[in-house]
Amino acid sequence: MDALSFFVIIFFFWNVEKSLAFQLSVVSVVGRCRSSAQRAWDALGRQTCVDGTFEVLVFDCGEEHLQPLRMPTRFPSKCLRRPGLRNWREARALAAREGVAPVVAFLEDHCEPYPDWAERLIASHDDGRWAMVGYAFTNGSRDSWWSRS
């Protein structure tokens, strides 16, 4: 077995073992709207699922001078920072690549997930009938005309 084959096999098993740690990777991107994003992260901290069920991956595109967000402490979280990045599709993709769970959920920075949000997403996916599941959310931008409509 040459060195490259050995590396590929080790990497594969390492990645599989690592992915068994979490059932869900929650990915979000944030820019300047810190207050609504903070409400979303605080709501993640109130999830009813067992600790260690999911990880939180945040891609922070906000300018350097903006305060960092408080990440949920109940679940492992990682904040990737690239100030000024304007392509949020790219940011979501970069953050999703950091995830290790078999299921990825994209959470908008202005949405507050219900306390059983993650638990229900995982259960729906584990049901085996669905390759992709959606969810309902409450818009966290309460003081905008769009939210009130």
What is the spatial distance between Cα 78 and Cα 12, in angstroms, rounded to a whole number? 22
pLDDT band at 85 (very low <50, low <70, confident <90, very high): confident
Confidence at residue 136, expressed as pLDDT on a 0 to 100 scale = 63
Confidence at residue 29, expressed as pLDDT on a 0 to 100 scale = 92
Residue 73 has pLDDT above 60, yes or no: yes
Tokens standing for residue 131: 């390759």
Confidence at residue 127, expressed as pLDDT on a 0 to 100 scale = 81
Residue 134 has pLDDT above 80, yes or no: no
Neighbouring CB atoms inside 10 A of 122's CB total 21
pLDDT band at 57 (very low <50, low <70, confident <90, very high): very high
pLDDT band at 50 (very low <50, low <70, confident <90, very high): confident
DSSP letter for each residue of 28-73: EEE-S-HHHHHHHHHHHTT--SPTTSEEEEEEE-S-TTSPPPPPPS
Tell me what the mean pLDDT of segment 55-81 comes to.
88
